[in-house]
């Protein structure tokens, strides 16, 4: 009888120990998973923007995507003059955009932003040729900067 209860006792202890090991293991795996997940989700450089700057940046970005939509639509109906105007005014290196790119306090970001807007002017020039293929190639190059910057930076 004594042996039996001892055995049961050990078995229970063992089970508890196993259980808590499994728990530890589980939470460790959970943590690793979590950490891994975070690095998979976002390893981009943060610009550490204030809430105001975030809103400001996002609204400029929404206007960028709108400009791209306009330009594609205008190419499709053959209105290259208007498409060129939009490219220069909205994506080109205007005084406003030049200032804006320098406002975020990151030199690499500024450089990339300026190169992007320069390509916006090149897009405007390409559209002046009224050549669809040249225009789309230039738009493709400009959008390469959207892709590159989004892959590198976050707010
Ligand atoms: C020099 C850097 C840079 C360039 C170039 C750039 N963006 Fe962005 N964009 C950003 C950053 C930073 C964010 C915020 C991303 C984040 O925090 O996840 C952003 C966010 C956005 C958003 C999200 C807006 C919202 O309201 O949530 C859109 C849309 C966008 N960009 C479109 C574009 C398009 C289209 C282009 C090119 C024509 C472009 N961007 C070029 C840096 C850039």
On the question of pLDDT at 19 being above 70, the answer is no
On the question of pLDDT at 62 being above 70, the answer is yes
Average of per-residue pLDDT across 53-65:
97
Judge if the beta carbon of residue 149 lies within 6 A of ligand 1.
Answer: yes
Instruction: Compute the distance from residue 130 Cα to the ligand 1 centre, in Å.
Output: 28
Judge if the beta carbon of residue 150 lies within 6 A of ligand 1.
Answer: yes
Among protein residues, the one whose CA lies closest to atom 2 of ligand 1: 149
On the question of pLDDT at 114 being above 80, the answer is yes
Best residue among 49, 60, 61, 115 to mutate for probing ligand 1's pocket (most ligand atoms within 8 Å of CB) is 61
Cα–Cα distance, 129 to 52 (Å, whole number): 40
Instruction: Compute the distance from residue 54 Cα to the ligand 1 centre, in Å.
Output: 11
- What pLDDT, on a 0 to 100 scale, did the predictor assign at position 41? 78
Average of per-residue pLDDT across 35-58:
85
Minimal CA–CA distance to 55: which of 63, 44, 65? 63
User: Please, are residues 130 and 80 in contact by the beta-carbon 8 Å criterion?
Assistant: yes
């Amino acid at each position: 009888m004594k042996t039996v209860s001892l055995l049961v006792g050990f078995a229970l202890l063992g089970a508890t120990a196993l259980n808590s090991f499994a728990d530890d293991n589980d939470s460790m795996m959970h943590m690793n998973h979590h950490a891994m997940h975070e690095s998979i989700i976002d390893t981009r450089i943060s610009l550490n923007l204030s809430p105001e700057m975030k809103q400001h940046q996002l609204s400029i970005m929404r206007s960028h995507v709108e400009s791209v939509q306009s330009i594609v639509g205008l190419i499709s109906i053959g209105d290259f003059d208007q498409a060129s105007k939009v490219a220069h005014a909205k994506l080109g290196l205007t005084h406003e955009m030049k200032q804006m790119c320098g406002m975020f306090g990151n030199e690499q970001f500024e450089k990339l932003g300026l190169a992007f807007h320069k390509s916006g002017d090149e897009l405007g020039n390409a559209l002046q040729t009224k050549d669809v293929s040249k225009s789309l190639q230039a738009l493709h190059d400009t959008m390469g900067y959207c892709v590159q910057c989004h892959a590198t930076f976050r707010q």
